[in-house]
Amino acid sequence: MSVGGKPLLARVIERVRAIESIDQVTVATTTDMADDPIDAMARHLGVGICRGDRQDVLDRFRQAAEFNADDDCILRYTADNPIYDPGVTQLALKKHLESDFEYTHIDGLSHMVPEFLSVGALRRAAELASEDYDREHVTPFIRKHTDRFRCQTLAADFAGLRPELDPHLTIDNQEQLEVFESMLYALEPKMETVDIQACYRWLDFRRAGLESAANAVVKQSDDRSGQESGFHIAGRSIGRRSPCFIVAEIGQNHNGQMGMAKRLIDVAADSGCDAVKFQKRDIRWELTEEAYNRPYENPNSFGKTYGQHREFLELDEDQHIELREYAIARGVIYFCTACDPPSVDLMQRVGNPVFKIASRDITNIPLLRKVSETNKPAIISTGMAGLEEIQEAIEAIGGTRRNLLITHCVSQYPTEIKHVNLRAMETIEKQFGCLVGLSDHTTGIITCVAAVAMGAPFIEKHITLSRAMPGTDHAAALEEEGLRRMVRYIRTVELAMGDGEKAFLPEVESAKVKLARSLTSAVQIPRGTVLEETHLIMKSPGDGIPWNRREMVVGKRARVDIPPDSTLRTEDFQ
């Protein structure tokens, strides 16, 4: 496919060849006849070609490295990302090599920096991995088995990367292609090599609706327009001037089934959410023996006792790791509410980028202190609390630290509209001086959209495949179409809110010319007459002299006879 007049694959290979330490380049593709043009292009560009199974991409990589030594280093690039950054790649490669790691990656996987792995690790993964997902995506098996591989995870914002913009720097569909080409057409004529910072600035201006300014970006600098002070979750900015961070709360609406959990991640990703959130409990830690053994036979039950019901809904550590990998592949952030200290430890091992405190745990001070020890961003939900309990929770989790967000909510499932009280967000923000979002339990989407119009930087909404499923959370959740509409309406409201500055827009010029008023002769004005205000009225069109510029003609002598009802021109007076 052509991208800005040059094949996408050729652009990627150009970037790869800009890495000084690379010795050889190989394109791995399929044996399908449809991919013969890829083979021809690779040969034309003078790089290697390895062809294998369409789905087993892991084995394609193994074949491509067949003649390499185990300790050789592979840089894994994917061919839909044309702006790999040589400078940041070189820094990441140095980090990989200096500490004897077998695998290094940017947290969340980057479209700007490749993955780094040893040939030996690749061969072991190809031998051991059996799941179709692991074989199709090459490296998840390694990330899921850090007990077998020496792995290093670099921060999502390593060396100045901006992961909140990363999704805009890949080409997976027609819309992304069109945006990418617009960026290239703006930047390539003005710089020898389009660098990462120029892309970031162009995208910042575009997100702000300043397309003309975006197309004029050529200055080289470290400016980060559009960023603001605050904090980040997995590199995505959270704050009043950033796009609202939208979380699809899956919780335990997967009903204990991995297939359903992955389908819900798909729904969130396809709808445009920023993140998905699950829950993790250690049931024996959480419940007394009496509570565990209490009979729980009702239409919503997945076990004979309440403890068995809760155990059925829990996912284990390996399942959470697999779901995080799946979410990363779908381009959304994965995190969990950890409901007890053992679950905090487990989610630390999984790679939780942020910890959510559920409303029921806002007075669970030991849990809050445990989360505080992680030094990760935290979100505290307040559906069962007043201002006093919120104050105690903030103190327990670290006082006035910046990477804290409070969510206003009401723990009624579903919440009646009359109880939502969105103005409480303003009260909480004024009282505690921290960012405040909304965790919404109503059945619709209007409260979320209204909260964003009020300035909420964070929205959390339960999702489900069907509200008819058993469980209280399903009844207050959105199905796929509702979630799509909510995200679309939120983004529309954000666009409509603008930057708050009142200015004349070029887009209204034609309306102004047609409808505004100009100085017009109210009577016959003979040649030689000195013009007075009594001679004037205001009429459309608006392409003449406005009233506030009447000194241009008032007090001056008419050069010609001017009939009544004529738009006045400066050239008619002296």
* pTM for this entry: 0.75
Give residues with Cβ within 8 angstroms of 150, minimum separation 6.
Answer: 100, 101, 102, 103
Region 252-271: mean pLDDT is 94
Provide mean pLDDT across the span 237-241. Answer: 84
Distances in whole angstroms, Cα of residue 132 to Cα of each of 100, 135, 262, 270: 29, 5, 14, 22
29-70 pLDDT, tens digit each = 999 999 999 999 999 999 999 999 999 999 999 999 999 999
Quick: pLDDT tens for 522-544.
Answer: 999 999 999 999 999 999 999 99
**What pLDDT is stored for residue 217 in this prediction?**
44
Question: pLDDT tens digits for 106-141?
Answer: 998 999 999 999 999 999 999 999 999 999 999 999
Neighbouring C-alpha atoms within 13 Å toward the C-beta of 218: 9
pLDDT of residue 340: 95
Q: What is the DSSP string of 388-446?
A: HHHHHHHHHHTTT-SSEEEEE----SSPPGGGT-TTHHHHHHHHH-SEEEEEE-SSSSH
Cα(255)–Cα(244) distance, rounded to whole angstroms? 29
Q: How many CA atoms does the CB half-sphere of 195 hold within 13 Å?
A: 14
- The per-residue pLDDT for 407 is 97
Going by C-alpha positions, the residue among 62, 19, 29, 27 that lies closest to residue 48 is 27
Specify whether the CB–CB gap between 462 and 482 falls below 8 A: no
Task: Name the nearest CA neighbour of 233 among 336, 360, 322.
Answer: 336
Residue with more model confidence, 349 or 223: 349
Q: How far apart are CA 202 and CA 168, in angstroms?
A: 11
pLDDT exceeds 50 at position 310: yes
User: Residues 85, 90, 92, 96: what is their CA dihedral angle, to the nearest 10 degrees?
Assistant: 150
Instruction: Tell me the one-letter amino acid at 255.
Output: N
Q: Is 542 exposed, middle or buried (0-12, 13-18, 19+ CB in 10 A)?
A: middle
Q: Determine the Cα–Cα distance for residues 376 and 354; give it in Å rounded to an integer.
A: 6
Q: Is the pLDDT of residue 465 over 90?
A: yes
Terminal-to-terminal C-alpha distance of the chain: 64
CATH node for 506-572: 3.90.1210.10
Q: Locate the domains of the chain by residue range.
A: 2-160, 173-227, 244-497, 506-572
pLDDT in tens, 474-486: 878 999 999 999 9
pLDDT at 2: 86
Residue 327 backbone class (left: φ over 0; alpha: ψ -120 to 50; beta: rest): alpha
Distance CA 297, CA 356 (A): 30
In this prediction, residue 401 has a pLDDT band, given cuts at 50, 70 and 90, of: low
All residues at 6 or more sequence positions from 107 whose CB lies less than 8 Å from its CB, including other chains: 153, 154, 155, 156, 234, 235, 351, 353
CA distances for 238 relative to 33, 127, 232, 402, 458, angstroms: 47, 42, 6, 11, 7
Q: What pLDDT does 213 receive? A: 44
Please say if the pLDDT value at position 100 is more than 90: no
Amino acid residing at 571: E
> Is the separation of the CB atoms in 446 and 438 below 8 Å?
no
Fold annotation for 2-160: Spore Coat Polysaccharide Biosynthesis Protein SpsA; Chain A (3.90.550)
CA distances to 35, 80, 170, 207, 362 from 173, in Å: 19, 10, 9, 19, 43
Does pLDDT of 153 surpass 80? yes
Instruction: Categorize the per-residue pLDDT at 549 as very low, low, confident or very high, splitting at 50, 70 and 90.
Output: very high
Q: What is the overall mean pLDDT for the chain?
A: 90
Distance of CA 162 to the CA centre of its chain: 11
Q: Given a cut of 90, is residue 358 above it in pLDDT?
A: yes
- Does the pLDDT at position 86 exceed 80? yes
* Predicted pLDDT of residue 234: 83
% residues pLDDT > 70 (the chain): 95
Beta bridge partners of 530: 557
Examine residue 377 and say whether the peptide bond preceding it is cis (omega within 30 degrees of 0): no
Say yes or no to pLDDT of 220 above 50: no
Higher-pLDDT residue of 424, 236 = 424
Phi, psi dihedrals of residue 564, rounded to the nearest 5°: -65, 155
User: Under CATH, which number does the domain 244-497 receive?
Assistant: 3.20.20.70
Cβ atoms 74, 50 nearer than 8 A: no
Which residues, listed in sequence order, are joined to residue 117 by a DSSP beta bridge? Answer: 74, 103
